[in-house]
Structure formats: C-alpha cells, structure tokens
C-alpha cells in the first residue's frame, strides 16, 4: 500500500473552524504537529491500515467525535448498541447531531469504523482522539466557505500525549494533529506504520 505523508505549514490552519479548509472544527490551541496521510481512498484502501496503526501507537481507548445529519442516526445507534459502545450526544438540533463514542478495543473498532468511514467519505465530520476524550462544543465564527457564520461546533483540546485523527474531505486522506513528539518527523511516523505500507514524503507548500 502506497502512502504519501506531508506536514502542513502553520498558516494552513487556525483555532477557528474553516469550512472547506483545515479544519472543520475548533481548537482551544493549535497543536505542534499537523500531518497528512494521502494517496488513499478510505472506503477502498487496505482495511488493516488504520487498525494496525492504532495498535502500533497504543491508541486505545479511542474517542470518536462525529458531526452528522439525522440521516445517519439510526445506523449510528445500531452500530454502537451492537458493539456495546458507550456514546453520548453533545448537540442535537435542526438535523445536526454531534456525538462522542468511546471505542475501548479492537473488536468494538471493527464494528463501528466502517460506518465512520462512510460518514467521513460523505463529508460528515469524523475524528478520533487517542486515550482521552478531548471534546466539547462551543459557538464559533466560521472561516472559509461559511465566512462569518456563527454556529455550534465541536472543539478539541490537546495535551502533550493525545493525538487526533480526522477523515479528510471525500475520504481521500487522514490528517493527524498532535503535540506528541512520536509524530514530530516523517521518520518517526514511518516507524509506527504497518509493514505493508510503502510511505513517501511529500512537501506541502
């Protein structure tokens, strides 16, 4: 499996949500390292890629935060109940839902992750944090395509160890955001990749 990895310059993102840009959620503070894993399409890529990466970095429990329309609600609840996955709703209003699910182990992950891939590839917001629930909601002013619009959005708070992964637009990438030095360089990221991945560094300017 081929994979392109690149680090985003800091001018690409800010603490405020950016519709169509980086990122469609808020942050209390921006993290030290932001990288992109590209040259993939999540619905069709090696199904062992993300599970193996999460095992390699000892990421469990994972906390998935998703913002989605009510179209997905029934399937979401059914998957969570099937996998005995605890979840909570942070926000429900006018066909918009923000929820956090606690995925404690690999068996739960395999139950629910295909649905999250479908959501993220349909441009719903899907992200997950390692080991810690880092989510809240807050009214923020949007940048980008919704410049100036005020809305309730998920907000993340980074500490030294937690890492966040977000399914990029159309499911064409996974973005990593972290203060963890384990992801500070291309080489350190590659050390945690599954053996079947063939990475290549690319420059984002």
Q: Residues 18-33, buried b or exposed e (16+ Cβ, 10 A)?
A: beeebbbbbbeeebeb
Q: How far apart are CA 164 and CA 96, in angstroms?
A: 22
Residue 94 has pLDDT above 90, yes or no: no
Query: Is the confidence at residue 160, as pLDDT, over 90?
Result: no
Q: What angle do helix axes 106-121 and 49-56 make, rounded to 10 degrees? A: 130
Helix then strand then coil, % of the chain, to nearest 5:
25, 40, 35
**44-62: pLDDT as tens digits:** 999 999 999 999 999 999 9
| Partners of 93 in the β-ladder | 96
Cα torsion angle, 107, 82, 42, 88, sign: negative
pLDDT above 90 for 205: no
Q: Per DSSP, what are the bridge partners of residue 62?
A: 103, 130
pTM: 0.96
Q: Is the pLDDT of residue 101 over 90?
A: yes
């Amino acid at each position: 499996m081929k994979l392109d990895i690149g680090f985003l310059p800091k001018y690409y993102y800010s603490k405020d949500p950016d519709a169509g840009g980086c990122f469609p959620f808020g942050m209390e503070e921006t993290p030290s390292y932001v990288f992109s894993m590209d040259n993939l399409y999540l619905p069709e890529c090696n199904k062992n890629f993300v599970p193996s990466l999460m095992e390699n970095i000892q990421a469990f429990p994972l906390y998935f935060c998703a913002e989605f329309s009510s179209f997905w609600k029934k399937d979401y609840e059914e998957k969570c109940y099937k996998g005995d996955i605890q979840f909570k709703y942070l926000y429900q209003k006018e066909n918009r839902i923000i929820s956090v699910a606690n995925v404690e182990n690999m068996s739960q992950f395999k139950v629910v992750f295909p649905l999250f891939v479908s959501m993220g590839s349909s441009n719903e917001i899907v992200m997950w944090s390692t080991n810690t629930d880092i989510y809240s909601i807050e009214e923020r002013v949007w940048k980008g395509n919704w410049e100036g619009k005020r809305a309730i959005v998920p907000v993340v708070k980074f500490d030294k160890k937690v890492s966040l992964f977000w399914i990029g637009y159309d499911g064409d990438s996974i973005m990593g955001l972290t203060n963890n030095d384990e992801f500070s360089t291309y080489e350190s990221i590659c050390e945690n990749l599954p053996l079947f991945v063939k990475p290549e560094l690319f420059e984002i300017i």
